[in-house]
Chain A
């Protein structure tokens, strides 16, 4: 929605005779009449047209009668639609398609409770790291930070936290697509929060960023194993292996732990790339559940 900045009546940002501080641009009105005006501009037009007789009259002039009737029907329908929540509105304003925004709004780990828990864990870990002042690296933070995106992604799609999981499984939307729609923002949010926590550890410099590649490696490996092991066992196994690896590394050296060395970072990058490839190649296996291993169900030519 753009205000009518070229309006010769001088309504740009100023109240005119009918009390309006702006009017819908003619191009937008034409798009509205054709049903081509997209949200959130569409919402603004809907709201404005209700109150503005001048724009309604102009709409009647620019649109053909059939399209206008359809427009009024759409307006009537829109008025019935409950306003979306904060997250959904924010996503739409950021340019996310409204149907994708709704799928994201249903993502369990994008709720405030989960995000609050992640922030709390990071704050405590950062405080502990600053208090300990270990010379080599913030060990506790670097051990924990890769696990948060792994857990977030694991919980974003699956029967553990998603109450509509079974409905999603039997829907025609491809499971891999739904998983990706939810994984990308969850991973992004987790990495941003981890990044902000890293900024709170300035004394370690770039060493405090050594969680990033392990985080990507763990998350990608968890996703790649999910079709075979299920959405609970796969990330659980990956997280457990990470912890065991750190414990073993700590017992074998007094210096920088192996995963945080240059070699360790290189291996993490390789694992992340390999697991991402396997995840993509196994995308069709996210299409269904089976009785024993969720996601590993139907395959072409199977018994069903």
Chain B
């Protein structure tokens, strides 16, 4: 794995949170710097829990973290963290009778922007940023799913936060909307720290300068997307039949099978992708063997 960010803006160590007997977070330590960091992992890996902890929605049972130098363990520090935070939850809720403008304005008020003129200027700015100026007066219940996600992103961006937490923002979007959203996130990552939870390895490949992979509440990988991809070097091959020795294999559009795992000696090796590296990282034992 590559060196961690030398000047981390968000730093967490030993975060642990248990729900009943299950460890949603198990001794998680991460360091984030400026730019977009991707958070990958299967369902139940603890991604959303980590995001909620870092967003100060839930305190951890153990461990500590700082955001932009502020410790959320104290009232004053927590207020500062929240002032610096933009949060887009996994299923953002809206007051359906609000217009896009009113909703973002409402979130701006929660962020302590009480001066009407300055607040409205800021609301217009973020709605412009997410290209929703034309529909700002429309009720949210009449907007499409993609537009609603952009309203939620605008709400997260209001107040120009230094730390942006995005929980699966591209879920349910069609390819064009997803591409637009990626543009917005890439722009949002300029000059601020963005933590992006996603199931889409393409999101990570296109947007992120670093990636964290979580499995069962633990960090299994932390590094650059290139390093995650390199984990699959020499471990992806093509064949005419599914290789029974492969950890995963599937028929591609060309009719041949793409296999991931430990290749046979005469395997027809192919160039790995980030997804191959991610899949092999999920298969813990296979990665350990390969690393040795």
Contact = CB atoms under 8 A, between A and B. Distances in A.
A171 B82 contact: yes
A170 B87 contact: yes
Interface string A155-190: 000000011111111111100001000000000000
A303 interface: yes
A167 B73 contact: no
A84 B89 CA distance: 26
Interface stretch (A10-18, A125-133, A135-143, A283-291): A283-291
Contacts of A165: 93
A287 B82 CA distance: 11
Contacts of B106: 102-103, 106, 164
Interface string B59-87: 11111110000011111001100110101
Given A80-B136, A81-B101, A164-B93, A303 B120 contact: no
Interface residues of B, number: 53
Nearest to A70: B117
Interface in B36-77: 53, 55-65, 71-75
Contacts of B101: 80-82
B112 interface: yes
A39 B116 contact: yes
B61 A303 contact: yes
A76 to B, nearest CB: 10
A170 B82 contact: yes
Interface string B111-122: 110101101110
A297 B57 CA distance: 9
Nearest to B80: A172
A85 interface: yes
A172 B109 contact: no
A298 B17 CA distance: 14
Interface residues of A, number: 44
Interface in A89-136: 97-99, 102-103, 105-106, 111
A65 interface: no
A202 interface: no
B124 interface: yes
A122 B99 CA distance: 33
Contacts of A284: 75
Contact of B64 (A168, A288, A304): A304
A164 B94 contact: yes
B117 A77 contact: yes
B16 to A, nearest CB: 9
A80 B124 contact: yes
A167 B72 contact: no
A85 B99 CA distance: 10
Contacts of A291: 17, 19, 58
A81 B60 CA distance: 41
Contacts of B63: 303-304
Contacts of B61: 303
Contact of B109 (A84, A99, A166, A169): A99
Given A167-B92, A290-B58, A304-B59, A298 B97 contact: no
Which 7 residue pairs spanning A and B have beta carbons closest together? A163-B93, A171-B110, A82-B137, A172-B82, A304-B73, A304-B59, A99-B109
Given A74-B117, A82-B137, A304-B60, 10 more contacts: A103-B109, A105-B102, A164-B92, A168-B110, A172-B110, A288-B59, A289-B57, A298-B72, A304-B53, A304-B56
Interface of B: 17, 19, 53, 55-65, 71-75, 78-79, 82-83, 85, 87, 89, 92-99, 101-102, 105-107, 109-112, 114, 116-117, 119-121, 124, 136-137, 155
